[in-house]
């Protein structure tokens, strides 16, 4: 049975699996000093059309935390949205790995930061008793399934630059944002002012692993030591990197992301038309949020559906993955319609 709790409930996509098996040949050097890892880093440089530094870690929490730690000192602060994964779902890891840098959570419509909120957080105080803002982190696609357009990113990056802040992007669902907007990865990252991108692999269909991509290569100084100390340097690195090779080949990553987005749009349309339930946020990527009567939620769970209702701004969250089928979407919509009628 397929579920909508998270896109990380899905398995490994065939392209990644095939590449992983292909990498399982003979003995090769460990800790990333192998041909697979070199090739993927080159492919990512081609994809992003720039000379960037690429590192692979096991998960998104580590990617975000270590990237943020690389961008600031312990007495600095990081401006984030109040529903940002770094704030609500990483168990204090960004603060821990940065030895105490503080997250400054601010509000914003539709899960998005605004230039005004950044400026306010920076200028609110400028005395020595306040943790000095040094980084802005934004999530693309956001935690509520919306997407920043390049002009929005540029405006945020400009506000950040003006106040001497670096820009980090949590791209756990960067693929879905790229597919949703139909723009190039470069346009949604360094060309819009992003310094460091955590490019999510897991939710895109890899078995494990995220790429930390430094567009400003000076910021990557000693990053491999940081990864090693944090227990994030894979000795058999080829099994983290090779699946990327498979998914980057022939645009599989983008096809899978576009499919997940299309399933989310199908779900949103079904809920609106069939059950009269409008989505709480624009469905720009692969997630749909909707407010369901609690009896409907209970009914869905009784029928075996797994989904979350504590993420983002409330409401039930339904995430679509690379392998979500139209039939599964329609069955969920049908169940919601039946349950809504009964209540």
Ligand X SMILES: *Cc1c(COP(=O)(O)O)cnc(C)c1O
Contact 216, 195 (CB under 8 A): yes
Query: By beta-carbon distance, which residue lies closest to ligand X?
Result: 60
**Nearest CB to ligand X, comparing residues 139 and 232:** 139
Instruction: Rank residues 170 and 333 by Cβ distance to ligand X and give the closer one.
Output: 170
Minimum CB distance to ligand X smaller for 194 or for 296:
194
Alpha carbons 60 and 67: distance in angstroms, whole number: 10
Interacting span for ligand X (CB under 6 A) from 59-67, 110-118, 226-234, 258-266: 59-67
Asked if 15 is part of the footprint of ligand X (rule: CB under 6 A), the reply reads: no
Residue 202: strand pairing partners: none
- Nearest distance from C-beta of residue 135 to ligand X, angstroms: 16
| One-character DSSP codes across 168-206 | EEEETTHHHHHHHHT--TTTTTGGGT-SEEEEE-GGGT-
Instruction: List residues bridging with 132 in a β-sheet.
Output: 76
Closest CA relative to residue 41, chosen from 254, 253, 244 = 244
With respect to ligand X, which residue has the nearer C-beta, 200 or 246? Answer: 200
Under 8 Å between Cβ of 284 and 147: yes
Per CB under 6 A, the list member of 56, 57, 60, 193 interacting with ligand X is 60
Map the footprint of ligand X across residues 239-278, applying CB under 6 A. none
Span interacting with ligand X, options 35-43, 53-61, 105-113, 219-227, rule CB under 6 A: 53-61
- 251 sits in the region (left: phi over 0; alpha: psi -120 to 50; else beta) called left
How far is residue 221's CA from residue 44's CA, in Å, rounded to a whole number?
19
Q: Which is nearer to ligand X, 57 or 332 (CB)?
A: 57
Which candidate, 254, 255, 262, 270, places its Cα nearest to that of 335?
270
Say if residues 207 and 184 touch (Cβ distance below 8 Å): no
Q: What is the nearest approach in angstroms of ligand X to the Cβ of residue 133?
A: 21
Q: Which of 104, 172, 271, 339 binds ligand X (CB under 6 A)?
A: 172
Which residue stretch of 54-62, 149-157, 240-248, 270-278 sits at the interface with ligand X (rule: CB under 6 A)? Answer: 54-62
Candidate list 76, 81, 85, 134; residue touching ligand X; CB under 6 A: 85
Starting from the edge strand earliest in sequence, which strands make up the sheet with 196-200, in order? 53-57, 210-214, 196-200, 166-171, 132-139, 76-81, 102-106
Q: Which stretch binds ligand X (CB under 6 A): 35-43, 58-66, 146-154, 323-331?
A: 58-66
Scanning residues 290 to 329, which ones bind ligand X (CB under 6 A)? none
139 touches ligand X by CB under 6 A: yes
Q: How far apart are CA 238 and CA 241, in angstroms?
A: 5
Of 9 and 75, which CB lies nearer to ligand X in the complex structure?
9
CB neighbours (10 Å) of residue 229?
12
Question: Least distance from C-beta 207 to ligand X, angstroms?
Answer: 12
Of 88 and 184, the one with the shorter C-beta distance to ligand X is 88
Q: Given candidates 98, 137, 202, 324, which one binds ligand X under the rule CB under 6 A?
A: 202
Q: Which of 15, 170, 195, 284 binds ligand X (CB under 6 A)?
A: 170
Residues that bind ligand X (CB under 6 A): 59-61, 85, 139, 143, 170, 172, 202-203
């Amino acid at each position: 049975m397929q579920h909508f709790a998270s896109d990380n409930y899905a398995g490994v996509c065939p392209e990644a699996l095939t590449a992983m098996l292909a990498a399982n040949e003979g003995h090769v050097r460990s800790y990333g000093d192998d041909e697979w890892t070199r090739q993927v880093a080159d492919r990512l440089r081609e994809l992003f059309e720039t000379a960037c530094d690429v590192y692979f870690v096991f998960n998104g929490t580590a990617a975000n935390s270590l990237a943020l730690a690389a961008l600031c000192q312990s007495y600095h602060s990081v401006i984030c949205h109040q529903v940002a994964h770094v704030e609500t779902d990483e168990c204090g890891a960004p603060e821990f790995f940065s030895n105490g840098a503080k997250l400054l959570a601010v509000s914003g419509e539709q899960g998005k930061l605004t230039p005004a909120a950044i400026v306010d957080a920076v200028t609110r105080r400028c005395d020595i008793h306040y943790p000095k803002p040094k980084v802005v982190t934004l999530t693309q696609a956001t935690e509520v399934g919306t997407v920043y357009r390049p002009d929005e990113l540029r405006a945020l990056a400009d506000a950040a630059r003006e106040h001497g802040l670096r820009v980090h992007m949590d791209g756990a669902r960067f693929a879905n944002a790229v597919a949703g907007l139909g723009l190039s990865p470069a346009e949604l990252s360094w060309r819009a002012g992003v310094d460091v991108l955590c490019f999510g692999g897991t939710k895109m269909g890899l078995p494990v692993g995220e790429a930390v991509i430094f567009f400003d290569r000076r910021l990557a100084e000693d990053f491999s030591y940081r990864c090693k100390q944090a227990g994030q340097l894979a000795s058999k690195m080829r099994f983290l990197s090779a699946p990327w090779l498979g998914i980057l080949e022939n645009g599989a990553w983008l096809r899978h992301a576009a499919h997940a987005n299309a399933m989310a749009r199908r779900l949103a349309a079904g809920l609106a038309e069939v059950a009269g339930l409008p989505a709480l946020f624009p469905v720009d990527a692969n997630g749909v949020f909707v407010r369901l009567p609690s009896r409907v939620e209970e009914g869905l769970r009784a029928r075996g559906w797994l989904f979350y209702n504590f993420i983002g701004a409330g409401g039930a969250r339904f995430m679509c993955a690379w392998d979500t089928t139209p039939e599964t979407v329609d069955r969920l919509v049908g169940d919601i319609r039946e349950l809504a009628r009964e209540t």
